[in-house]
Structure 1
């Protein structure tokens, strides 16, 4: 029969603080990983339910700023693109990062929007990141994305007052910022496509 001062007998389930901490951290990691899988899908290519963006009328004037088209961005092959080449086109401008879960969640919809507007000369998708080209190229290839991505630096982010990702803007043919949206959204809806097409057909 065990003695009363036998600590092993008194506390058969005693666990050290270090073990508890390790178990807690493991649970947090597993939970975060599971949440990531639920949000962005097995390989980041699956769609998740996202809210449709609230759209103003394409003919409605706006009190937002007008972009001056100064500066340039660089594609993933290192070729510089002057922003002035966007004049006269409707621009879907999206600031994103490959480490940003909300950005990843909306990219499948943006890929579909890219394919839906591929035959339109008046609508341009411009996805901008500050990451290095090789990291983005690897990310894109793994998910089979082919929408245009450009590398930019802080002056462009500052021009649009971007403080968090994702941030999306729509520019009309004269550079007027007609629409802005902070956060992930569903961009491949018929309503949003019609909005872009209406802007492209509106000279003002």
Structure 2
């Protein structure tokens, strides 16, 4: 009887080790990659506050700023006027700015946009695209060149001078 009990314990231990190993290595071997500088920006399709459907690949040939934000995020709120200024200054150079809101109610997003006076497209995400881009901190901004390559990734608040510097790089890449 004791001998059989020992075998059962060994089998349970082996099963536990195998399950733990599979769990650990499945994350390491997963095909989901975090987009980084130098990678192609993952394509996405989202509905905008304006009712239009936006797809990143529709802007091929243009530099794109993709900003993940939320009205609950103080740094997001502080940088929004600078992003709006950049959009207004550079849209004649074909700069596209897409603000992706992080799963807030549409009425909350619309109220914020009206209050701040945002005129660039605001897209509504339900944590699908933010997961695809592995966004874990807010704000997070991806600067995508005209070829669809991520030129810069910024986690955290941006100043207007930083935005101008990176957008000038984006535009120079296109010319």
Whether the TM-score (by the shorter chain) exceeds 0.5 is yes
* Residue of structure 2 in register with 1:77 after alignment: 50
Does the 8 Å contact 2:144/2:170 carry over to 1? no
Alignment partner, residue 119 of structure 1: 92
Question: 5+ residue gaps in structure 2?
Answer: 1-35
Q: Does 1:138 align with 2:111?
A: yes
The CA deviation at 1:63 is 5.5
Corresponding residue number in structure 2 for 1:181: 154
Q: Distance in 2 between matches of 1:167 and 1:153?
A: 16
How has the CA–CA distance of structure 1 residues 132 and 79 changed in structure 2, closer, same or farther, with 3 Å as cutoff? farther
How far apart are 1:164 and its partner, in Å?
Answer: 1.3
Matched residue, 1:192: 166
Displacement of 1:166 in angstroms is: 0.1
Question: Which residue of the partner structure matches residue 82 of structure 2?
Answer: 109
Structure 1 CA distance for aligned equivalents of residues 161 and 86 of structure 2? 5
Q: CA deviation at 1:132?
A: 2.5
Report 1:35-114 matches (<5 A).
64-69=38-43, 71-114=44-87
User: If the length of structure 1 is used for normalisation, what is the TM-score?
Assistant: 0.61
Structure (1/2) with the larger helix percentage:
2
2:125 is the counterpart of 1:152: yes
Residues 22-41 of structure 1: pairs in structure 2 closer than 5 A: none
Compute the displacement of 1:75 (Å). Answer: 0.8
Q: What does the per-residue CA deviation read over 1:89-134, in whole Å, with 9 as the maximum and x for residues that have no partner?
A: 211111000110010111111111011112122x211110122322
Aligned pair count reads 138
Structure 1 runs not aligned, ≥5 long: 1-61
The CA distance in 2 between the partners of 1:177 and 1:191, in whole Å, is 15
Q: Deviation per CA, 1:27-82: give whole Å up to 9, x if none.
A: xxxxxxxxxxxxxxxxxxxxxxxxxxxxxxxxxxx86321242x311110322122
Tell me: CA distance 1:83–1:109, structure 2 relative to 1, closer, same or farther (3 Å).
Answer: same
TM-score, normalised to structure 2, is: 0.71
